[in-house]
Every structure is written in structure tokens, then in C-alpha cells.
A = this chain, B = another copy of it.
């Protein structure tokens, strides 16, 4: 953890950005909530817990900076808010998401499942792929189980 923080510090310095206490606090929050998909407001509130003097604008500016440096990825699940997701160390590609349409939970897929698809797109559409966003909407494991409790039939795929 401290390790990753150090790395990020270096990345900032390399691009000649200063590491202010506010930026450090923000990065710490992101590291502590790597599983979550925090909105700027979420990050703000969490940072505020430890550094109450921080302003929302600073959080926005920091998140923008981190996005620019590809330390975090900015994502949008269709609700009105941008969410910020720490990149995996050394990940070439953005990871995928499984959004449950019933409970709203978000699961991450770190594996790159798109290699073949990207090859097809590059070849057939002549499009030079630099990044991707893939999100599946559906029913998560938990919510499927809940249904099965109500009507304990064999858990077949429900038709839409």
C-alpha cells in the first residue's frame, strides 16, 4: 500500500506535479477503497473525514489530474455521476464491470476478455484500438439466489 503510494508520488514528480497533503489524502482514500467505485462527492466526504479543511474543487482537480496521468480511470455507469477507479498496477487495459440491475452492486473483472474482439475490430473496421469500456448489465450472483429462494425451482436462465 505504502509501496503504491510511493509509486504514485514518483509519477506525480516525474510529470512535475507537486505532492500536496490534499493530493496525498485523496490518493490514500482511493487506495483504501480500491474495490469501490467512488464518485467525486464520495471521495470528497471520505477525504474530509481525515482532512476536514479540503475543498470539493480540489478533489475534482486531483481526480482530473490522476485521470490524466492514467493512475485512475473515470467511468460512467449511466447514473448522472462520474466514478473514479484506480488502475491495476501495470494494467495495459481498463478492466470490465458487472453492474447488477437489481441491487446496484458493481463487480470488477480484471482479466482482459477482449483480445480477440479487439483484433477483429482492428482488422475488419480498420480502427486502431487504444482503450475500451465494457460493462455488463444483469443480475449478480446474490440477486439470482434471492429469486431462487422465492420460487425454489431449478435455476434456469430467466428470459428478459
Q: So how many copies of this chain end up in the complex?
A: 2
Contacts of A139 in B (CB 8 A): 127-128, 130
| A153 nearest CB across to chain B (Å) | 11
Known contacts A74-B78, A133-B135, A141 near B127 by CB under 8 Å = yes
Count of chain A residues with a beta carbon within 8 Å of a chain B beta carbon: 36
Report which of B101, B117, B128, B136 forms a contact with A121, defined as CB distance below 8 A. B136
**Quick check: is A129 within 8 A (CB to CB) of the other chain?**
yes
Contacts of A135 in B (CB 8 A): 132-134
Known: A128-B138, A129-B138. 20 other contacts (CB 8 A): A76-B78, A98-B127, A101-B130, A107-B125, A107-B127, A113-B117, A113-B121, A117-B134, A125-B141, A126-B156, A127-B139, A127-B140, A127-B141, A128-B140, A128-B158, A129-B137, A131-B136, A132-B136, A132-B137, A134-B135
| Residues in A lying within 8 Å of B, measured CB to CB | 74, 76, 78, 98, 101, 107, 109, 113-114, 116-118, 120-121, 125-141, 144, 156-158, 160
